[in-house]
Amino acid sequence: MQFFQSLSQTPAPQLVPLARAAEEAGFGGVTISDHLVRPREVDSKYPYTPSGQMAAGTSTPYPDCWVLCGALAQATQRLRFMPSVYVLPMRDPFTATKAITTAAVLSSERIMLGIGVGWMAEEFALTGQPFARRGRRTEEMLEVLRKLCSGEMVEHHGEFYDFGPLQMQPVPTTCPPILVGGHSPAALRRAARADGWIGVNYELPEAFEHLAALAAARRDAKTEHRPFDAAIALNSEPDRDACKRLEEAGATILFNPPLGFPEPATTSLDAKLDELARFAERLID
């Protein structure tokens, strides 16, 4: 099993030192979060808390995912970078793919594309993208993304996007692996057809339930024999035995929650470095 350190909600001056420390401590990668803005009033229900309220405040920092990946790649050698998750249908496919492929090239292809369909309708309204049918639109966006990632002259004629021959450059030698977030039946089916799955904010018994449902979705999709990553974040730190059981259940990546959780935006860099080192000493061989 690999371990990824979450850098979500971390102040910008702390990001490079933490990424370097994560690499030195043996983490396989880091994850980051995606929001464009935080409206003062949010009527949309956050799906990962019982209250439906987002824990982060209005001033919590959310740097652009792909600018940040490109910057952290210049400060590290082997660390991988994955949004958890990038809200793909909140963008148009051309702008999104240009940012993703540029970050992939600048990072020497150390990008993993964690995507989700999003939950905050208010952000979609600001970008002019429809919130309705965003799951179906995401599936077609992934088709377009894979075509554009080829670097060849491509065209597409679908339900939501229709364009004649065009070409995008620069692109990586291979499309970044696509991991789909969420645990609804539709999200699991979408993940089973992709390169991996992301599930977050679970108690340990829930994690095993979702991994079993994911395995069933992969069997239904007849993709169970393909290379596949299952990345998961728990609400509390597991011990080595729990990590072993998660791995046996199909998990390949475990996220360490944001450093300083639940106050990562205000925790000092030294405190974060100490917490990162402690986690690595306990769980990373």
pLDDT over threshold 90, residue 263: no
CA distance 37 to 258: 19
pLDDT tens figures, 163-174: 999 999 999 999
CA distance 179 to 198: 6
Structure tokens at 284: 């990373």
- DSSP 8-state symbol, 57: -
Question: What pLDDT was estimated at residue 158?
Answer: 98
Which among 260, 280, 191, 173 has a CA at the least distance from the CA of 230?
191
pLDDT over threshold 90, residue 248: yes
Which among 233, 124, 133, 246 has a CA at the least distance from the CA of 183?
233
CA distance 269 to 214: 37
pLDDT over threshold 80, residue 48: no
CA distance 42 to 38: 8
CATH classification (class only), 2-283: alpha beta
Q: Supply φ then ψ for residue 94, to 5 degrees.
A: -75, -45
Average pLDDT over residues 135-139: 96
Question: What pLDDT was estimated at residue 261?
Answer: 83
Question: Percent of the chain, pLDDT > 90?
Answer: 91
Give the start-to-end residue ranges of the domains of the chain: 2-283
Encoded amino acid at 77, one letter: Q
pLDDT over threshold 90, residue 285: no
The half-sphere exposure of 34 on its side-chain side, counting CA atoms within 13 A, is 26
pLDDT over threshold 90, residue 53: no
Sorting pLDDT into bands at 50, 70 and 90, what band is 4? very high
Average pLDDT over residues 34-53: 89
Within 8 A by CB and 6+ apart from 270, the residues are: none
Report in angstroms the alpha-carbon separations of 202 from 34, 49, 183, 207, 283.
20, 10, 11, 6, 19
Sorting pLDDT into bands at 50, 70 and 90, what band is 50? confident
Question: What pLDDT was estimated at residue 57?
Answer: 78
Helix/strand/coil for 184: coil
Sorting pLDDT into bands at 50, 70 and 90, what band is 233? very high
Which among 183, 166, 179 has a CA at the least distance from the CA of 119?
183
pLDDT over threshold 90, residue 47: no
Which among 77, 87, 114 has a CA at the least distance from the CA of 197?
114
Which among 117, 11, 104, 17 has a CA at the least distance from the CA of 56?
11
Which among 201, 218, 204 has a CA at the least distance from the CA of 257?
201
206 exposed, middle or buried (CB, 10 Å; 0-12, 13-18, 19+)? middle
Sorting pLDDT into bands at 50, 70 and 90, what band is 178? very high
Question: What pLDDT was estimated at residue 58?
Answer: 84
How does the average pLDDT of the chain come out, rounded?
96
Which among 96, 45, 81 has a CA at the least distance from the CA of 231?
81
Sorting pLDDT into bands at 50, 70 and 90, what band is 59? confident
pTM of the model: 0.95
CA distance 231 to 16: 23
